[in-house]
Chain A
Amino acid sequence: MVDSKMVLTGQTIAYTIYCIVIILLVAWFAWRVTHEGNGKGVKPAIFYTFVGFLTVLGVSLHLITLNTIPWTKVDLNRSEYNPDKTFTITVKDHQFILPAEKLIINVNDLVLFDVKSEDLTYGFGLFRKDKTMLFQMQVVPGHRNDVLWRFDRPGIYSIRSTEYSGPKGSRMVIEDAVEVVSGNGAN
């Protein structure tokens, strides 16, 4: 299944190719514009084709991600899904207050993280052991902050605040706070 690592790998490849192409294009332009030329202008047809290309590109990016990134539709329609498990977490005084029981999840469970702030705006993110991000959301005081996530493989994740909340915010990390296990280990 497509996970955040795979999505970012795809993005890295696409953006790197784009960067190389645009750098070469500007370099080619810089060379050509300073060398012999007939002073003829650019045909309007080329301009309008470019406008059409940009329009298609701008719209298609979101259509592609909507249909290929598995969490996008779930995220936009969270109320239509029934989570297999819900974790309620509170944040206060730069501390995450987790449920008393350890956060253990079965593979393929759809889990709702419902996070409440009692003072500042924080962030809530899950990170893999290699420090890469699984997902994150903002935690705004006075509002519901919930994210629905399907865990499709075993793993151990840290919780980290992903929003600046003052100098103490950098230390808002709980290592190995969430464990995803295969089978029915979480029951």
Chain B
Amino acid sequence: MNFSKTLINGEEGLFKPETLTPMQKLTLRFVVVGLIYFGFVVIEGMLMRLYEVKPLPFITEPQFFAILTAHPLVGIFGSTYSIVCGAFLFLVPYLMKKPLWSIKMGNWTFILIAAGTFIFWFAGFVSHYSPLYTLYWPLPADFSQFSVWGGTFFILGIAIVMAGTALFIINIFKTITYTPEGWERQRTGALLSSALGVTGFNNLFRKNKKEHLVPLPVAAVARGSVDMALNTMTILFTGVLILVYMIGAILGFDLKETAIDALLYKNWFWWGLDLIADGLVLIFVAGTWYLLAMLITGKPLFMQNIARAALLVELVVSWTVWSHHLLSDQAQPSILKVLSGEMVTAFELITQGLAFFITLATLWSARPLKMTNPLKFLLGGLLGFALAVPAGIMQADVGLNRILHNTQWVVGPHVHVAVLVGLTMTLYSAIYILFPILTNGAKVYSQKLVNIHFWCHLTGGIGMGAFMGMAGLNGMLRRTIYVDGEFNTTMILAALSGTLIFIGFIAFFFNIVMSVGLKGVLGIFMPARSRTKNLLPG
């Protein structure tokens, strides 16, 4: 088949969107939109990388900070949430061997996350609303710096994403616990206990252990969804609070900003935000590693009971670590800094280390394995977290935080390596393993492009993190523009590494489009012919 035919019909014309079930379409829509938003994030990231070398004449300073505000939010919600929600709405029923509780609700999750992300991104793009994702009080309500209308739509967009997230959580828990029509009645309480870890915990004290009704990856999704629910409530509450000030300003009332305690707000906000960064991300990632290891090897997970317990510990840890973001806040009580900020945070080294070891041990037990695309990206994801978690533990130290807080160290070796290398490569591994299942046997267009994507993304991600880290150790702050080229050597190297990520993404995107064809991409967004609730055709 020649190039133009492949571009239109996909590799060997194998992908036929008309054969897809509504569930396959739903999942693929999530993935396509998630990847498009990832493209936004990569382009925004490249613009900022170049700006840090030399301010670009076509981007003003307020625009730069608007990009900086939108960049992580589009990455988390538009890209990661889309891919994760799509994958889990498919995998939970797949592993539970029953249909999704509500495909309609799944579709609404897709629409709300995609639309909400576009609204807040567009509001920031037009109005340059830029209080950053941290929203330190009273900055989001500082209308001497930011447009109140821009801010209103920005917060509204975030609220819409949260509404979509809430529907996802309901759908996941209902799918785990409901009884499909014609089935023997399922024990809702027992399923919920198994999913949340209560059964596993009680088993520690029982002679006759109860069987786990819920597979381990589903347990991870359920526990991560608990953090997602708490986080959704926190962000929604915060959004409403900010909206009250905005609507007040629109109506001509100047509400007193000092009515809200800035430190209490900071504690509240970080408690909620850490449920993503130190909660659901780590739990979802660990669960995905376990699932991938089992699918790749076809073997049960090494130390399965310990893995279940570690997921539960991680959930509790995620509720109590937020103070590591306030180690440089002198009014924060020292006891919170030491206990929550240092000690509990150090537990993440243990829980994530366990997940790392268990995954590797499971793979090891099935030697020799073929170096497939899911395996190589999984190893990349494992390496990413192995690099990023200790970097985070270092900065979560009272002494070191005094000289690392808000430097490029935090956002380079820790955040970007965790997200770009650890999380994103894990997601790529899941995409590659699900690709033939979701497309009814479509073939990847080019293995060479997969390899280019892998090496560019891995070396670019680690390189960017490393050079940002070096700049941070030399005193370069994050969220700051340096106009005199003070850190140019490291920033040029970071920009070159970013370029590698960009090239890798282009290779991946082109490869996927060539695999399913332009007709196939459009077909994913057409209504499904079949009305079956089954996940797969036939």
Q: Apart from A59-B346, A142-B263, A147-B330, what are 19 other A-B pairs with CB-CB below 8 Å?
A: A15-B391, A19-B387, A33-B364, A47-B303, A47-B358, A51-B350, A54-B350, A54-B354, A69-B400, A71-B399, A72-B402, A120-B142, A123-B406, A130-B474, A141-B138, A141-B258, A143-B329, A166-B65, A170-B61
Interface status of A7 (Cβ within 8 A of chain B): yes
11 A-B interface contacts by CB (under 8 A):
A8-B403, A19-B466, A34-B368, A34-B369, A54-B353, A61-B397, A130-B474, A137-B402, A143-B329, A144-B330, A167-B65
Contact A140 B368, CB 8 Å, known A18-B390, A42-B302, A132-B475: no
**A167 contacts B367, C-beta separation under 8 Å:** no
Task: Return the chain A residue nearest B380 by Cβ.
Answer: A26
One digit per residue, 1 when the CB lies within 8 angstroms of any chain B CB and 0 when it does not, for chain A 18-51 equals: 1100110010011011111111111010010011
List residues of chain A with CB within 8 A of the CB of B405. Answer: 136, 138, 162
> Which residues on A sit within 8 Å (CB–CB) of B492?
none
Contacts of A61 in B (CB 8 A): 346, 393-394, 397
Chain A's closest residue to B376 (CB) is A30
CB 8 Å contact bits of A151-164 with B (1 = contact, 0 = none): 00000000010111
A18 to B349, CA, bound (A): 14
Query: In the complex the two chains form, what is the Cα distance from A75 to B477 in whole Å?
Result: 22
Q: Does B337 contact A (CB under 8 A)?
A: yes
Residues of B within 8 A of A137 (CB): 328-330, 402
The one of B131, B346, B473 in contact with A58, judged by C-beta atoms closer than 8 angstroms, is B346
- The total number of A-B Cβ pairs within 8 Å is 224
Q: Are B479 and A164 in contact (CB under 8 A)?
A: yes
Q: Is there contact, CB below 8 Å, between B357 and A26?
A: no
Query: How many Å lie between the Cα of A59 and that of B399 in the bound state?
Result: 14
Report B-chain residues with C-beta under 8 Å of the C-beta of A162. 405-406, 477
Who on chain A is nearest to B136 by CB? A121
The distance in angstroms between the C-alpha atoms of A33 and B366, with both chains bound, is 8
Task: Assess whether B134 is in contact with A164, with CB atoms less than 8 Å apart.
Answer: yes
The number of residues on chain B lying at the interface, defined by a beta carbon within 8 Å of a beta carbon of chain A, is 85
Asked if A102 is an interface residue, CB under 8 A from chain B, the answer is: no
In the complex the two chains form, is B262's CB within 8 Å of A143's CB?
A: yes
Q: Are B350 and A55 in contact (CB under 8 A)?
A: yes
Asked whether A95 is an interface residue with its Cβ less than 8 Å from the other chain, the reply is no
B361 interface contact, C-beta 8 A: yes
Q: Whole-angstrom distance from the CB of A120 to the nearest CB of chain B?
A: 6
Residue of B whose beta carbon sits closest to that of A134 = B403
Q: A119 contacts the other chain (Cβ, under 8 Å)?
A: yes
Report whether A164 and B391 are in contact in the complex, using a CB–CB cutoff of 8 Å.
Answer: no
Instruction: Give Cα distance in the complex from A33 to B372, angstroms.
Output: 12
Contacts of B402 in A (CB 8 A): 4, 71-72, 75, 135-137
Task: Pick the contact of A138: B64, B329, B343 (CB < 8 A).
Answer: B329
Known contacts being A69-B399, A167-B145, is A32 close to B367, with CB within 8 Å? yes
Contact present for B403 and A58 (CB under 8 Å): no
Interface check A11, CB cutoff 8 A: yes
Separation of A4 and B405 alpha carbons in the complex (Å): 13
Interface size on A, residues (CB 8 A): 78
In the complex, what's the smallest C-beta–C-beta distance from B251 to chain A, in angstroms?
Answer: 23
A165 within 8 A of B: yes
B370 touches A (CB below 8 Å):
yes
Interface residues in chain A, defined as those with a beta carbon under 8 Å from any beta carbon in chain B: 4, 7-8, 11-12, 15, 18-19, 22-23, 26, 29-30, 32-42, 44, 47, 50-51, 54-55, 57-59, 61-62, 65-66, 69, 71-72, 75-78, 119-121, 123, 125, 127-128, 130-138, 140-147, 160, 162-170
**Given the interface contacts A58-B350, A140-B329, does A33 sit within 8 Å of B474 by beta carbon?**
no
Closest 9 interchain pairs by CB?
A: A37-B367, A58-B346, A69-B399, A72-B399, A143-B331, A164-B479, A132-B475, A42-B361, A121-B136
Cβ of A163: which chain B residues have Cβ within 8 Å of it? 136, 406
Most buried by B among A44, A119, A140, A147: A140
| Contact A170 B368, CB 8 Å, known A75-B402, A121-B262, A135-B402 | no
Q: Which parts of B407-422 form the interface with A (CB within 8 Å)? A: 407, 413
User: Once bound together, how far apart are the Cα atoms of A136 and B353, in whole Å?
Assistant: 31
Residues of A contacting B258 with CB < 8 Å? 141-142
In the complex, are the beta carbons of B357 and A47 less than 8 A apart? yes
Distance (whole angstroms) from the CB of A78 to the closest CB of chain B = 8
For residue B353, which residues in chain A have a CB less than 8 angstroms away from its CB?
A: 50-51, 54
Residue B398, interface by CB 8 Å: yes
* Chain B 305-321: CB-based contact to A (< 8 A → 1; otherwise 0): 01000000000000000
B138 A119 Cβ-Cβ under 8 A: yes
The 8 Å CB contact of B365, one of A26, A40, A47, A164, is A40
